[in-house]
Structure 1
Amino acid sequence: MSHSTLKASVIISIYQDVEALHAILYALSRQIEQRFEVIIAEDCECKAVREYLAQHTFPFAINHLTQEDKGFRKTKAVNRAVAAAKTEYLMFLDGDCLPHSQYVAEHLNQRENNRVCTGRRVHLGPTMSRWFRKKPSLIKLIENRLVYTLLGLPLVFDHTKNYEIGFRSTTLHKRQAKKYLTIVGCNWSVSRADMLKINGYNEDLPGVGGEDDDLGWRFNGKGIHEKSVKFVIPVYHLHHVERRADVSTNLQIIKQNTAQKRYYCKNGVDKYLSETHEKLKSNA
């Protein structure tokens, strides 16, 4: 597929989890809108991921970007993916979230200039998550409204959280559409031009947590505001042990930057744009 026919770039931030990546790519292969590229933003150099991608084919182009494992550096990995994107619209998934089959189509349908589309996720419990990892085709079942309703009690007993997010409903969406909804890294989208206005993620944030909130206030400072797509674009989060660390450090840096109205971060995407341009020229 030529670059001119692509409608979006789906950026997946991952760390070593091949099983979850397999499930995500399966879910992306079911999208009703197939005119997109996938950029895997890997925060390490995992041999198993590289071998998996070499052994499988997909109905979309995949650009696999890696970097040396020096601790949590998702901000850097995603910024490099933004710089490498071949389209003007960016969609973001975490490496533990399976997209609904309408994910790409609805993000494109909901997009607006100077707006960030912000969605939410169903937190699947441990048992259901194990099933999805082993057989990702099960996503077909929970996309069915009747089946999802019948599974309600088992899902609740399995400690599923935000169960209601799984019901795609324009009525539910309209009831809360005007409510402020922050960015969560697992399910959001924005134009590449708007992302570059704030220079992407702030790589000066050293820890896990707060990096998406940091994006939000900087977008707002540039007149780019959140648009809720809750209840129209769900994703399904696979259960895992929480991996948050150094949140307080991040929040302190964000607080200082907020006070000084630093909407355009100094340590962001721009340094990779020149690298991408030079690489394109050398391959011409």
Structure 2
Amino acid sequence: MSFIKSSLIISTYNWPEALNVVLASVVNQVSMPDEIIIADDGSKPDTLSLIEDYKSKLSIPLRHVWHEDVGFTKATILNKAIAQSKGDYIIQVDGDCIMHPNFINDHMAFASENCYLYGSRVNIQKIYLEKLFTNQQFQFSPFSAGIKKRTRAIYSPFLSQFYKPKLELSKKFRGCNTSYYKSDFIAVNGYNEDFKGWGREDSELALRFFNFGLKSRRLRYRGIVYHVYHLEKSKSRLELNNDIELKTINEKSSWTVNGIDKYLNE
């Protein structure tokens, strides 16, 4: 499905060391997206400097969508970035998730309308961070040092065939490794910007995808990312965010009022 234009959205906040190895893994992709957009939740200028450096290493557009740091507003910056995207298909990762060389190719191979994809996340351990950043490592295998959940690092197109699209919710869904048609995202009005602080913005989006009638497909054994260890974000807003998600569950809603539509005509 190479005729479909794709946009890779990478969310980040004040961690250029991690974003550096993530962008290195983009350069190393077997198939490239049509554009890359960094959704920046208010980083300092060193992140912009890194992005400018990478523009000369890439043959595709690399854009930086930034807003002022007002706390954790990931849902908002993702909506702003996706509103500016030119692709028909959105592939979304976090700025601390290094991509397998076939990552873009895998997501595009399974892209289908009325279905969103979600892939596996291998964890890079805390004790390995110094070596990771010193070596600027962006390639791993199931036998690499410094990782856990090794079975998630197994790459097997054959085994991946046994995972089919389903009309169901999965607790394994993560916004750090997902893809979907932009038209489906707009149909549910994107992320709910009522979410402030860490937690539930991804699972609530998946709930609305489900309520809208989208199927989901797990990219097991393909579409792999390697998640760089970091300290947990503050969960001070988690109870409030849980309430927002519970409202979506109880009302079976597929639309959020406070979503992407406000940016689409800018």
Structure 2 residue 154 is matched with structure 1 residue 167? yes
**Cα distance in 1 for residues equivalent to 2:43 and 2:152:** 34
- The 3-state SS of whatever aligns with 1:228 is strand
**Cα distance in 1 for residues equivalent to 2:257 and 2:119:** 28
1:18-77 superposed Cα distances (whole Å, 9 cap, x missing partner) = 111111111000111124211000000411112222344231211101111111000000
Residue range with higher mean Cα deviation, 165-174 or 231-240: 165-174
Deviation at 1:11, TM superposition (A): 0.3
Question: Root-mean-square deviation (CA), in Å?
Answer: 2.0
Contact 1:5–1:35 (8 Å) recurs in 2: no
1:213-263 superposed Cα distances (whole Å, 9 cap, x missing partner) = 101110011111211102111100011111141222111111123212221
2:241 to 228, 247, 250: 250
Q: Report what 1:47 is aligned to.
A: 45
Q: Report what 2:109 is aligned to.
A: 109
Q: Report what 2:256 is aligned to.
A: 265
- Alignment: residue pair count: 259
Structure showing greater radius of gyration is: 1
TM-score normalised over the length of structure 1: 0.85
Structure 2 residue 209 is matched with structure 1 residue 219? yes
1:52-111 superposed Cα distances (whole Å, 9 cap, x missing partner) = 223442312111011111110000000001100011000001111001110111100011
Contact 2:204–2:248 (8 Å) recurs in 1: no
**Cα distance in 2 for residues equivalent to 1:165 and 1:214:** 24
Structure 2: gaps (5+ residues):
none
TM-score normalised over the length of structure 2: 0.90
Deviation at 1:131, TM superposition (A): 2.2
Contact 1:173–1:229 (8 Å) recurs in 2: yes
2:195 to 195, 205, 212: 205
Q: Report what 2:180 is aligned to.
A: 190
Structure showing the higher helix proportion among its residues:
1
Residue range with higher mean Cα deviation, 199-208 or 67-76: 199-208
Distance 1:80 1:118, change over 3 A: same
Deviation at 1:175, TM superposition (A): 4.8
- The 3-state SS of whatever aligns with 1:118 is strand
Residue range with higher mean Cα deviation, 165-174 or 217-226: 165-174
Percent identity reads 29
Deviation at 1:185, TM superposition (A): 1.3
Structure 2 residue 119 is matched with structure 1 residue 119? yes
- The 3-state SS of whatever aligns with 1:274 is coil
